[in-house]
Structure 1
Amino acid sequence: MQVFRGIPQSSDQPCVLTIGNFDGVHLGHQALLARLRHRAASLGLPTAVLTFEPLPREFFAPKDAPPRLVSLRRKLELLAAQGVDRVYVQPFNARFAELSAEDFIDKVLVRGLRTRHLLIGDDFCFGKGRRGNFASLQQAGALRGFQVEALDTVALGGERVSSSAVREAMLAGDMAHANLLLGAPYEVIGRVIHGDKIGRTIGFPTANIQLRQTTMPLSGIFAVTVDGGPLRQAIGACSIGVRPTIGDKLQLRLEVFILDFAGDLYHQRLSVRFWHKIRDEAKYDSLDALKAAIDDDCARVKQYFFDAKYAEKDEGSQSGA
């Protein structure tokens, strides 16, 4: 997959394009991208995604913007996994925000990306003041030589699949529902970096995962699986938060205690998949109290995966009966 910073004055080849934030690349996004691939194959053209950095809501109201589901790097990895040929990452700044709907069509869609077919969500708006919409795109396409197609909302059990719905499920601690909307377990990937090494002093050495986000849509203690380096589907207790027992106003951290493992993981790139929330983050009066809580967390993590494995075997035996 090719990644471009900004929009060229003129592309070297026409494309089949879609536009959006693609935060999380959930089932709704995946349906859109599947349609994009199908349309591009029928026209013999590459697929292209136009996305933004920062996200528009982060630009207009940075203090009120919701936490991202994924970093830009992770989003690009997820788009590549969906078979996208090109991604244009447009800096969303004051100059870009001032583009009128007409200039957006002319400078971005027609001249910049040479769009032949545009696939958008049914609620897509664009241009200064969000004055452009599906109807105006259709009118422009008829004059400027590109087709426009809207994809209906993807629903699951009567619920609209969206980044907001995923985020709400995570904030509520319902990882099973969040993962259902994502189509896969929520995953954070990063390198193990040096931390304060407090965990090892109480018998729980943790892998401190480098985060590329300053905020996340979930916090607390989670049952996770970890892959990377010497680890294959290792189970662990993961903490996401600011470690209130250690101090006040500390930086957001993601730390994983990997059960039944002893070894050096520094500089390894690990994948952490989130399956179940154990509890919220809490402040303890002492490190001994924290140690007792982590002991209990580990027991609950083991029980969760034991129950999940038993349930999986039970379903298999019933289906084979």
Structure 2
Amino acid sequence: MQLVRGLHNLRPRHRGCVATIGNFDGVHRGHQAILARLRERAAELGLPSCVVIFEPQPREFFAADSAPPRLSRLREKLQLLAAAGIDQVLCLSFNRRLRELSAAEFVSAVLVEGLGVRHLEVGDDFRFGCDRTGDFAFLCKVGPDAGFSVEEAATVELDGERVSSTRVRQALAAADFALAERLLGRPFCIEGRVLHGQKLARQLGTPTANVQLKRRRVPLSGVFVASVELDGRRWPGVANIGVRPTVQGDGRPHLEVHLLDFAGELYGRHLTVAFHHKLRDEQRFASLEALKTAIDGDVAAARAYWQGQPPK
């Protein structure tokens, strides 16, 4: 899959494609249905498939502190789109200039002049352009004269409700990881590089990998049973996501994961942490001794959880 960052990096070889547009946060089963249809139409027309995304996501541009926590940061999103068989991704910087484009200007600059779109797949809730004036009806109206056809992607439902990024976040907030997995089509994961931290957990007898989050907010908080795929083996473990209230911190969320019975160096490794069960909320302890006791209890609870799971 080829990634193009910005309209200015588009080349003639990128023109003439079948495209879709959206945030694709989490690339859940609803997104996957759109991508599958996109690939089908691209194959029928003999053209490459293209996904147009925005960075930051529009709601993050307008209100970064109150925007919903991401299900996937850009790197994870691109990996999921590549795994879905997409040929190219156009990542547009969502800034004031892009925000002020009218719906007609967006169609002209991005879809026609930029990509030369021949067919467009859009979700049923898709809106674009200044003040979100562009929608499916507008695209159907301007598409024929602009040289592209338009198809509305069918809504995907699970248990009678629409599959959406919002619903995935709600499932995660409720620690319903089984539902989140059904909505995503895979376990919910967070990935990142292992960085050097305060090494406090090591001093307390339970060394943890400090996984770089690179996001302002996360959809989870607390202590969880987790697992990490490492060198072809799944390591069971326990993970903490939070601001570490017992020790002096920077107020930002951190992800720390302890791999049960693992002995080795993880610094610099890129880990993918999957979440399976919530043990407790994050809390402030009166002393490091009390924190150590709680961590030991978390490790014991995680061991008990994994001992009760069938082998995979």
TM bucket (normalised to shorter chain) is over 0.9
Specify the alignment match of 1:67 in structure 2.
69
TM, length-normalised to structure 1: 0.93
Q: Tell me how far 1:145 sits from its aligned partner.
A: 1.6
CA distance in 2, matches of 1:123, 1:10: 30
Indicate conservation of the 8 Å contact 1:11/1:112, yes or no. no
Which residue in 1 is equivalent to 2:57?
A: 55
Please name the residue that 1:7 is paired with. Answer: 7
Structure 1: gaps spanning 5 or more residues: 313-321
When residues 127 and 250 of structure 1 are mapped into structure 2, their CA distance, relative to the original with a 3 A threshold, is closer
Q: Give the secondary structure class of the aligned counterpart of 2:181.
A: helix
Q: CA deviation at 1:221?
A: 0.7
Counterpart in 1 of 2:295? 294
The aligned residue for residue 201 of structure 2 is 199
Q: 1:268-318: CA deviations, max 9, x gaps?
A: 1112111111111011111111111112111221222222318x8xxxxxx
- CA distances 1:114-169 after superposition (whole Å, capped 9, x unpaired): 00000000111111111111111111112122110001211101121111111111
Map 1:45-124 to 2 at 5 A.
45-124=47-126
Tell whether 2:161 aligns with 1:159. yes
CA distance in 1, matches of 2:87, 2:214: 24
Within 5 Å, give how 1:163-174 maps onto structure 2.
Answer: 163-174=165-176
Partner of 1:318: none
Deviation string, structure 1 residues 156-194 (Cα, Å, up to 9, x no partner)? 011211111111111122222112211101112222111
Deviation (angstroms), 1:17: 0.1
Q: Residues 211, 120 of structure 1: CA spacing in aligned structure 2 closer, same or farther, 3 A cutoff?
A: same
Provide the alpha-carbon RMSD of the alignment.
Answer: 1.5
- Counterpart-to-counterpart distance in 1, 2:42 and 2:249: 52
Which letter maps to 2:254? R
The SS at the match of 1:152 is: coil
Q: Cα offset for 1:35?
A: 0.6
What are structure 2's unaligned runs of at least 5 residues? none
Q: Specify the code of the residue in structure 2 equivalent to 1:5.
A: R
Q: Which amino acid aligns with 2:303?
A: K
Note the alpha carbon deviations across 1:200-257, whole angstroms, 9 max, x for none. Answer: 111101111112212101011111111235x710000000111111125533211111
Give the count of matched residue pairs: 310
Asked whether the 8 Å contact 1:10–1:114 carries over to 2, the reply is no
- TM-score normalised by length of structure 2: 0.95
Q: 2-side partners of 1:178 and 1:11: how far apart?
A: 40
Rounded to whole Å, the distance in 1 between the matches of 2:248 and 2:307 is 34
Secondary structure in structure 2 of the residue aligned to 1:308: coil
Give me the identity figure in percent. Answer: 54
- What SS does the corresponding residue of 2:155 show, helix, strand or coil? coil
- Contact kept, 8 Å, 1:11 with 1:111, in 2: the verdict is no
Give the secondary-structure state (helix, strand or coil) at the position aligned to 1:66: coil
Conserved 8 A contact 1:98-1:128: yes
For the 8 Å contact 1:225–1:272, the answer to whether it is kept is yes
Residues 269 and 6 (structure 1 numbering): CA distance in 2 closer, same or farther, change over 3 Å? same
The alpha-carbon deviation at position 11 of structure 1 amounts to: 4.1
1:108 aligned partner, one-letter code:
V
5 Å matches for 1:1-321?
A: 1-8=1-8, 11-12=12-13, 13-229=15-231, 232-247=233-248, 249-309=250-310
Distance 1:10-1:270 versus aligned 2 partners, 3 A rule: closer
